[in-house]
Amino acid sequence: MAIPESPLANVVINKIQSNTENLITAADVDGLTISNALLSVHNPVIELLDARKILFDKVKLTSPPNSLQVKVEDLYPGK
């Protein structure tokens, strides 16, 4: 997470394997790529707050069936 005045930019996470409770929460991000990843997630929710240019590339997600949720909020439309 970052702050609106200084967002994280162009973050790349590559070649990971993870077993985690939650999938991802991102705020004030301008460019996030997760690639070549194996993710086992108990609570597959993607929460984005003022996050742009989010890419999942070659990601295998193992989670409870039919449970992926995406929540997006944009406090600064047009930014």
Please indicate whether residue 3 or residue 13 has the higher confidence score (pLDDT).
Answer: 13
What confidence score (pLDDT) does residue 66 get?
A: 82
Q: What is the pLDDT of residue 2?
A: 66
Does residue 79 register a pLDDT over 70?
no
**pLDDT score for 72:** 94
Within 10 A of 76 (CB to CB), how many other CB atoms are there? 8
Per-residue DSSP letter, 6: B
DSSP letter assigned to residue 64: S
Give the domain ranges of the chain.
Answer: 8-65
Q: With 90 as the cut, is the pLDDT of residue 3 above it?
A: no
pLDDT in tens, 23-68: 999 999 999 999 999 999 999 999 999 999 999 999 999 998 888 9
Stated pTM of the model: 0.83
